[in-house]
Amino acid sequence: MVKQASSSRTQRRKPGRPAGSDGGETRERIVAAAIDCFARDGYAKASNKTIALQAGVTAASLYHYFDSKAALYRSTLQEVNAALIAAYREAARALPEASSMAQLCLGLEKVIELSRRRPGLMRFASASAGEIERHDELDWLDPDDASAFPDFFRQLLLRARRRGELGKGIDIDAAAKMLLACISGLASFHGSLSGPAEFARVLRSFERMLSGELMLS
């Protein structure tokens, strides 16, 4: 799941990494601990010390990979975004012949599954917009990462059109933005819900609405 970030802001490998240590695996452990600590304590209260402790590495080792708490937060945000988009892409790959609607619903099911398996990840995602607004030193994703979701929804709708599944007169640009707004709204709401079971019920209501089964007109 942990990808090499393409941005120029990515932390460069510094001299001094212990010979023979598996840098990729250590970095992965630090980011996994950061997801949980930022989700549990919030950005302001989380500390690099606690994160290093939870990852089972020294603070020096953490600083080898990430210059600052802000840099660690930024990498963590990138990882969480990548994990969520991966859920939708895996669903599309798992059902290569299915309708775009079926692929999207399976994507939502994979997000539900992810929220059960890694509750901290969805809590982190839910809180991220607020954290970025609150802390000047934090940034949104780089444009390349930020466009992953809009591109995914656009491609899904273009595929539906090619297959003759798109509703008559649907404006693909507007519909892709609408799906993004709804999915973002649903992710933000995760933090106000009682837990993974309620999150699953809310996402399944969305699947029913997508399928036109919420209310008769």
User: Which residues of this chain interact with a second copy, rule CB under 8 A?
Assistant: 99-102, 129-130, 133-134, 157, 160, 164-168, 170-171, 173-175, 177-178, 180-186, 188-189, 193, 198, 201-206, 208-217
How far from each other are the two terminal CA atoms of the chain, in whole angstroms?
A: 42
Residue recorded with tokens 């290569």:
96
CA–CA gap between residue 201 and residue 79 (Å, rounded): 26
**Residue 75 CB-density burial (10 A; 0-12 exposed, 13-18 middle, 19+ buried):** buried
Q: Which helix (H) or strand (E) holds 189?
A: helix 172-189
Nearer to a second copy, 52 or 160 (CB): 160
Task: Dig out the tokens for 216 from the structure.
Answer: 């008769």
Nearer to a second copy, 17 or 204 (CB): 204
Query: Between the CA of residue 141 and those of 15, 75, 184, what are the distances in Å?
Result: 27, 9, 14
Give the nearest distance from C-beta 21 to a second copy in angstroms: 39
